[in-house]
């Protein structure tokens, strides 16, 4: 079992940090020796105060800002009263501040973590989960944003309408729930117990009896987008929705039992949540999975118009990896029994020459009923006149969603063989589900590395120390205002009105953004300096690691 929410945070942070280092390293004077502890503490505090005092909106954060805060972005451009729930947004920042508190004992960081959690609690859906974004100005303001910026982001269909419910997509609900759990367990502050219980109820109430989870909940009956049925009630594996929920439930199962508040419903939900992986693996000759499955037939279902009804190679690889983890958790061979079939299928549909270039081991989508790849294209110039479509042509593909994936089937086979050869007792050694409820605690740090349930009762520090030169570089990179100047390599067109129905000039088949009415984010060749939560999280993590190494 793995933790994609933490992995996603780590990837975003590391990528942004690499951009920062590459852009600014030549101007930095790298110290010859490790900075003193007081210098690290001073640098951390100065950077954190900038974020809490200048960047935060009522305790919450987006992903990046212009230095004068005239524009700001999460996955899309945000209004000045908005905060982002998706990583690396408000919950990620809360986790970072709690990690800094553990490293320093400084109550300032504990209060900063509480402020982030409080912002999430104020934006928590009555059912207990979270939407992608929160508007501190209220629902009317959020609806206006959806009707303007969201509706005109051509390639981001999940923002084309306001559902008014909560989502498991992109780990936002899972990460926010974990933050509430960590904060409650930190000092048993009952302020966080009620919203934490609401979050747990949301995960339990939204689960189908067969064990699957939808993408959004509670269900709404407002139809889909672009003439397609609403896909959000379907059982969702995309972005590891099920894996994220299972991880949170295992944390809660141990953490609350340790505190005498264990919920007997949680273990049943964990078991059913693992079983849905077995139940949704399709029969021969296509023993694979889709991104989503119909809740009744358990057959693969389509989602956004860039995600047709098909088998999906990277989802199949991820589910194989998850089921190997479930075997380690339980020792139940039902999680191993049909994995060789899935691995053989992945080999059958692997990319053939000349398409099998590095990083393109498998086509993303395979037609149901025939092991034929299909590829995604688009035509038009914006959301009003544009269309996505699929065919068997591997040329002129969209670039914002991969039509090819890299699935490491040899590594999956090797892990399957290793686990199959072990005695059950050895395979399940250290399993949180084999431990007495409450006997394990949460990892000490959540942002220093990719953490998952196997890191419980550990510090979860990085396996390698941070170099002296890197620490000096991070401290020297702070500017006089207290933030790390970062080239913002992505931007977006400001909202300028509803997209016209007539196709405008230009060719947008292979671009990340359409015409000037498209509010989708895109990579720019002319980055401007700004403030990045990803860079802040990564650099603060380096300084925390230096303190605790």
The pLDDT of residue 221 = 73
Collapsed DSSP state (helix, strand, coil) of residue 445: coil
Task: Indicate the DSSP class of residue 197.
Answer: H
CB 295 within 8 A of CB 211: no
Token couple for 337 = 């029994």
CA-closest candidate to residue 274, choices 197, 341, 330, 202: 330
Cα–Cα distance measured from residue 532 to residue 28, given in angstroms and rounded to the nearest whole number: 19
What's the confidence (pLDDT) of residue 249?
98
Burial 256-274 (b: 16+ CB within 10 A, else e): bbbeebbbebbbebbbbbb
d(CA 299, CA 236): 12
Quote the pLDDT of residue 32. Answer: 31
Kindly state the tokens that stand for 379: 């035509």
DSSP letter string over 119-139? HHHHT--TTS---SEEETT-H
| Residue 282 DSSP one-character state | P
Contacts for 64 with CB less than 8 Å, ≥ 6 apart: 72, 73, 486, 488, 490, 530, 531, 532, 533, 534
Task: Specify the pLDDT at position 59.
Answer: 98
CB 476 within 8 A of CB 29: yes
pLDDT truncated to tens, each residue of the chain (549 aa)?
Answer: 443 333 444 433 343 333 333 333 333 333 334 458 999 999 999 999 999 999 999 999 999 999 999 999 999 999 999 999 999 999 999 999 999 999 999 999 999 999 999 999 999 999 999 999 999 999 999 999 999 999 999 999 999 999 999 999 999 999 999 999 999 999 999 999 999 999 999 999 999 999 999 999 999 876 666 666 899 999 999 999 999 999 999 999 999 998 788 888 999 999 999 999 999 999 999 999 999 999 999 999 999 999 999 999 999 999 999 999 999 999 999 999 999 999 999 999 999 999 999 999 999 999 999 999 999 999 999 999 999 999 999 999 999 999 999 999 999 999 999 999 999 999 999 999 999 999 999 999 999 999 999 999 999 999 999 999 999 999 999 999 999 999 999 999 999 999 999 999 899 999 999 999 999 999 999 999 999 999 999 999 999 999 998
d(CA 220, CA 236): 16
User: What confidence score (pLDDT) does residue 19 get?
Assistant: 31
Map tokens 């498991």 to a residue: 168
CATH code, 401: 1.50.10.20
Please tell me whether residue 529 adopts helix, strand or coil conformation: strand
The count of domains in the chain is 1
Q: What is the DSSP letter of 54?
A: I
pLDDT score, position 262: 81
CA proximity to 308, closest of 376, 384, 213: 376
**Which H/E stretch holds residue 354?**
none
By the 8 A CB rule, do 47 and 540 touch? Answer: yes
Q: Do you find a cis peptide bond into 354, omega within 30 degrees of 0?
A: yes
Q: Tell me the DSSP string of 225-277.
A: STTPPP-TTSEE-GGGHHHHHHHHHHHHHHHHHHTT---HHHHHHHHHHHHHH
Domain residues for the domain of 162 are: 4-548
If phi > 0 it is left, if psi is from -120 to 50 it is alpha, else beta; for residue 72 that is: beta
């Amino acid at each position: 079992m793995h933790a994609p929410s933490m992995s996603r945070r780590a990837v975003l942070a590391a990528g942004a940090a690499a951009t920062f280092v590459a852009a600014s390293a030549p101007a930095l004077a790298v110290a010859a020796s490790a900075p003193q502890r007081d210098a690290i503490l001073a640098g951390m505090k100065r950077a954190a105060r900038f974020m809490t005092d200048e960047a935060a909106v009522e305790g919450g954060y987006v992903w990046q800002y212009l230095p004068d805060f005239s524009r700001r972005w999460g996955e899309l451009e945000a209004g000045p009263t908005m905060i982002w729930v998706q990583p690396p947004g408000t919950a990620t920042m809360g986790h970072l501040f709690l990690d800094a508190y553990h490293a320093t004992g400084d109550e300032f960081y504990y209060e900063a973590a509480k402020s982030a959690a409080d912002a999430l609690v104020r934006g928590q859906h009555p059912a207990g989960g979270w939407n992608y974004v929160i508007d501190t100005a209220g629902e009317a303001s959020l609806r206006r944003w959806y009707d303007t910026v969201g509706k005109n982001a051509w390639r981001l269909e999940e923002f084309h309408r306001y559902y008014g419910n909560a989502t498991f997509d992109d780990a936002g609900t899972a990460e926010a729930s974990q933050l509430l759990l960590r904060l409650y367990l930190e000092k048993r502050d009952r302020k966080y117990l009620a919203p934490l219980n609401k979050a747990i109820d949301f995960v339990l109430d939204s689960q189908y009896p067969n064990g699957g989870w939808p993408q959004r909940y509670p269900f709404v009956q407002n139809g889909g987008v672009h003439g397609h049925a609403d896909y959000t009630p379907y059982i969702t594996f995309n972005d590891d929705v099920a894996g994220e929920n299972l991880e949170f439930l295992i944390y809660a199962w141990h953490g609350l039992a340790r505190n005498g508040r264990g919920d007997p419903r949680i273990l049943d939900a964990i078991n059913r949540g693992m079983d849905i992986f077995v139940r949704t693996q399709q029969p021969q000759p296509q023993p694979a999975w889709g991104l989503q499955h119909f809740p009744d037939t358990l057959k693969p279902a389509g989602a956004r118009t860039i995600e047709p009804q098909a088998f999906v190679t990277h989802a199949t690889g991820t589910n194989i990896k998850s089921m190997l983890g479930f075997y380690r958790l339980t020792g139940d061979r039902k999680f191993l029994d049909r994995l060789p079939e899935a691995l053989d299928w992945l080999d059958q549909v692997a990319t053939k020459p000349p398409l099998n270039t590095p990083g393109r081991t498998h086509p993303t989508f395979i037609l149901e009923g025939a092991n034929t790849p299909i590829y995604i294209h688009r035509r038009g110039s914006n959301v009003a006149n544009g269309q996505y479509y699929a065919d068997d042509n591997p040329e002129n593909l969209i670039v914002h969603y991969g039509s090819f994936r890299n699935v490491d089937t040899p590594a999956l086979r090797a892990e399957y063989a290793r686990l199959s050869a072990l005695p059950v007792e050895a395979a399940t050694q250290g399993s949180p589900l084999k431990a007495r409820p409450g006997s394990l605690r949460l990892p000490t740090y959540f942002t220093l590395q990719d953490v998952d349930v196997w890191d419980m009762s550990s510090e979860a520090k990085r396996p390698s120390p941070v170099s002296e030169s890197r620490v000096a570089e991070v401290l020297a990179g702070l500017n006089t205002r207290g933030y790390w100047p970062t080239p913002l390599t992505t931007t977006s067109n400001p909202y300028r009105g509803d997209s016209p129905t007539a196709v405008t000039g230009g060719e947008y088949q292979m671009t990340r953004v359409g015409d000037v009415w498209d509010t989708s984010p895109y990579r720019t060749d002319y980055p401007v300096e700004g403030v990045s939560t990803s860079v802040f999280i990564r650099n603060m993590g380096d300084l925390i690691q230096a303190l605790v190494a």
